[in-house]
Structure formats: C-alpha cells, structure tokens
Structure 1
Amino acid sequence: MKLPAHLSHSSRETLERCAKAYFLTRVARAPQAPALWLVGGSAVHEATEHYDLMSVVGNGDVFPAGQVWEVYFNNQLTEAREKEPNENKWRRSKTEGIEDWRRMGLQFVQSYIDWRERSPWEIWTTPDGEPAIELDVSGKLPGCPVEIKAFLDRVFWDPVMKKLVILDLKSGKRPPKTAAQFETYAALLKVKYDVDVHMGVPFMNRKATLGKPFDLSGVDVKEIGAVYGAAWDQILKGDFKANGFPRECYPLCDVQAACAAQNGPLAHLYDPASPGYQPQF
C-alpha cells in the first residue's frame, strides 16, 4: 500500500470529514465519479486564469470570454466523459444540467471580469517576478514531515490598505465556513516568500461579488504545520474509519461505489472492510 507523498488542504479536509473517503481516493485509488459542478468549476477557474494572464500584459480588454469559456468547458466535459461515458452516473444538481452550466459558467466568468474591472486591487508580483495567478506555494511547514501542495487562485495587492489579499474563486453556492484554507495558504506564502497576508476572501461567482473576508494577520506557521502533522500521523497509523453517517455521503462523496459502508458494488476491490476483499493496488 503506497501512501501519498504529500498533503493538501483538500486532502486534509477529506480526511477530517471521512477518513474512509481519504483512503479510497488517495491510497486505494478507487474510481471517482465525475461531478458536473466540478467540470464547470474547473472550466471557470481556467477561463478566469486566462483572462488575468491576458490582463497583466495589457490585453484584458480584448478577452473573448465566450470563445474561451466554450473551449475550457468542452475540454473539461471531454475529460469527464473519458472517465465515465455514462453521464447519468455523474454527480449533479437536479436543476443544473450540462446546458445550464454552459450558460451559467459564462456568466460566472463574466462576473469575475466585471469585478476585476472595477476593483482597485492589483495582481501581486512575487519577488521572483511571477504574477500571482494560480501561484504554486507548495512546501513544508514546521511540524509536518511531508510537502503540502497548494496553488493559490490569486494573490492581490491592495493599494489602499497597502496589504496582500489571497482570493479563492468559488463557483458553488456555499461560501467557506472557516478560514482553514486561507490560513494554510498564508502560512505557505510566508514560508516561501517571507511575506505577511492581511486577508483571505472568496469570490462568489454566483453572486458576482466578494464573500465574507477572513483575517489572516494572526496566522502562526507552526500552528498550521502542527495541524497537518497530526493529519499525517493519522494517515501513518492507518486510521481510516468511515464517518458513521452514510446518509450524509451523498452527493459529496465521489467514491461511494467503492465503500463498504455504502455497500458499494466495487467495495470488495478497494475497501479492506468489505467481505471478500481483493485489493487492486
């Protein structure tokens, strides 16, 4: 059984929510059912990244939003169909089908562009001269022996407050409940560039505006590292229990077909808790 070589905010969050789901996705490598909201959200991220890359070289005003969106959305659909050709097996909202996302996604991209055009914030440039767009700040934190992978959607410089702001695009309906994601990013940014971040904030594409900001001025690198160190200890111990609330698994979990707690048809291939377990890794 080969353990992952790194952690991330999303993987630690999965471990905390349901350690069994972490095991099935990150260790057993069970098949993951595509989700239409992830297809659309990924395309929104790619299209807005394209816009910002054009904007930093002065070409943002000629950005062909509709064409760019169609390319990225269709590419994401193709990737999802390669994983699971039967679209009826995809996880999706009952009210948001593919054509709904084709329309909504472009609106989400345009909402970000409109906000960028009226916002005074500027894309931050790292000490290495790199624009902070999908910025890789992966690295190690004190107290955690493995690398923590992290790519920041954007880091902005606020010329009014004279401070850095981490922004994360959210194409879903719910804003983040805690500052955990932003705190991880702030700690890694501090280690990599020795800079302090003032605030973390989501951009809620559906509402075309910023969500609730999180104060990051008190982030302690060692405390964040200790959180990830504890998660890694749990992984090393092989503590991969299911969360105990099967009804809460749908539609969030994408490996239910491989989970014994859900009586998944593939559980005997990937879940050691399944009778007749025959590992595939």
Structure 2
Amino acid sequence: MQRLPEHLSHSSRETLERCAKQYFLTRVAKAPQQPALWLVGGSAVHEATEQYDLLAFAGLEDDFETEEVWNAFFDMELAAARDKEENENLWRKSAAEPIEVWRRMGLQFVQSYIDWRERSPWQIWTTPDGFPAIELDVSGRLPGCEVEIKAYLDRVFWDPVLKKLVIVDLKTSKRPPKNADQFGTYKALLKTKYGVDADLGVAFMNRKGTPGKPYDLAEYTPEFVGDIYGEAWEAIKEYMAAGNFPADTSDCFLCDVKAACHAKNGPLAHLYDPASPGYAIPA
C-alpha cells in the first residue's frame, strides 16, 4: 500500500499545483525521473559557488581554483545522470546548450557569481548558533500544516547599508521567479527556526551576473505560509483517499516522469500510474 510522503517543500507544492499526476509519480510512486542537462549544470553551479563561499567565509577565497572546481562538480553531476540513464540522447536538454556548451557556460556562471560577490557589500549572515548561512537547512513545521516542510536556503546575506537580511537563491535558468512564494516559504521557516526576519528575497541570475528583482516578504508570516502548505497537504490526502491524482497535460515540457504517465501513453505507465490498465497496486 502506498503511503503519504513524509514532508512537503516549495518544489513539491509547485509540482502539485502544476500537475497532481506528476506530483504522485515523483513523490509517491517514485517513478524513474529522466535526467535533464540543465539540472546537471545547475546543480554543479550551486555546488561550485557553495565551495567558493565556504572558503571565502573562512578567508581562504584565494585558494579557490574556479575552473578546476567547476569541472570536478560538473563531471560528478554528469556521472550521476549517466548512472540514471546512460543514453544521453534520452536526456532532456536544449539543442542550443549541449554538454560542451554547458561546460563553458557553467564556468562563466560560477565566475559571474564570484565577480558579484567581490564587488557586493553584502555579507554572508551567521546564524545564532554560529553557522554561515550557506545552503542553510531551515526545515521545520509551520502553524496550520501538520507535516514538515523541507527547505535549504542557497544564501542569507546581511545588507550593511539597508540593515536588512536578504534571502538569495541562485538561478541558472533564463527566466526569473514568477513570484515571491519560494522566498516567502524560506522567510517563514527562517523566522520559525531562528526568530529573525528576512525582509527581502532576491534571485541571483547567473546568466546576467547580477541579482534580479527584489521581493518584499512582509506578508509571508509563518501563519500565512503554513496555511498555504496546510491546504496543499489536505489536497494530497484527498487525492490519496480518492485514488486519483488528475493529470494536466497542457504543458508537459518540463515533466521528467512522462514515461510513467498514462495520460501521455508512457511505456512505464502500467508500473507506476493507477490510471493505466494492468496497473497493480504495490503491496
């Protein structure tokens, strides 16, 4: 018998809103997910810039070898993707950005972040228990939601000019965030865990080498955000009770579990999708 997931996150709630079937296949049925080159590259950029900031926080930024570190993390992420699917022709990727382009482009993304860090007055915030706010785990529970909400903040900075905490998320995609919801989730969890308020949320757009539009996070209280996640959790429980997570096939470009989806005639649907004829409920 399939069980409810043990937690929520911003990305899982976003998936649920976009397509409940995709949420079920990824989070409940655990269907195999098709690798995406843009996720491989994005993960490597996150890891390389994290390494830089950890060294910089310790005053050792001169020891950071940008190209060497980038290539090591990119190769590691490529290997992990090949373990999932060795045929790279089946990966999701842009024709204009194959592996060799990503190798050059990703290095530029890492360098653009370093260049910004060197000229920015913002400083890595240190938590009350002495940890630098780099890939900061603020997972926890919020009022109105009975399950844990997982969240890892790319960075929290202190702006010494405006005297504000700023949550920053690195984005290697072309598009900026659609709204402030991701930052609002992080702000509420940061407040719950550490008792501090982050006034702003900003995406660092690696392709442009600069922060994007700042979002005011005043409305994102723990209660406000908790209610949103509580509603999502209730919807998940209702879908589970009904045995049906409806599919939305209006935009499946970014979906990584199409092979397991009956609505897309996926070849693996009978193994993972209850809507597929011949599907056997897992014991």
TM range (shorter): over 0.9
Residue equivalent to 1:249: 252
Q: Is the 8 A contact 1:268 1:279 kept in 2?
A: no
Report how far residue 119 of structure 1 moved: 0.1
| Distance of 2:199 and 2:64 partners within structure 1 | 30
**Superposition map of 1:2-21 within 5 A:** 2-21=3-22
CA distance in structure 1 between the partners assigned to 2:156 and 2:97 by the alignment = 31
Q: Map of 1:144-163 to 2, 5 A cutoff? A: 144-163=145-164
- Cα deviation for residue 279 of structure 1 reads 4.1
Partner secondary structure for residue 199 of structure 2:
strand
Whether 2:270 is the aligned partner of 1:268: answer: yes
RMSD: 0.9
Equivalent position of 1:131 in the other structure: 132
Q: Which moved more, 1:174-183 or 1:60-69?
A: 60-69
State the SS of the aligned residue for 2:156: strand
For the residue of structure 2 that corresponds to 1:233, the secondary structure is: helix
Matches within 5 A, 1:66-105: 66-105=67-106
> Partner amino acid for 1:235?
I
Q: Report deviation, 1:276.
A: 1.4
1:244, CA displacement in angstroms?
4.2
CA drift of 1:218 comes to 2.9
One-letter amino acid of the counterpart of residue 105, structure 2: M
**Secondary structure of 1:155's partner?**
strand
Task: Note the alpha carbon deviations across 1:189-213, whole angstroms, 9 max, x for none.
Answer: 0000110111000000000011111
TM-score (norm 2): 0.97
Q: Secondary structure of the equivalent of 1:78?
A: helix
Q: Deviations over 1:36-59 (max 9, x none)?
A: 000000000000000000000101
Structure-2 residue corresponding to 1:54: 55
How much does 1:278 deviate? 2.6
Q: Distance in 2 between matches of 1:60 and 1:255?
A: 40
Specify every segment of 5 or more residues in structure 1 that has no aligned partner in the other structure, as ranges: none
- Aligned match of 2:29: 28
Question: Matched residue pairs, number?
Answer: 278
**How far did 1:2 drift?**
1.7
Cα distance in 2 for residues equivalent to 1:244 and 1:52: 41
* Structure 1 length-normalised TM: 0.97
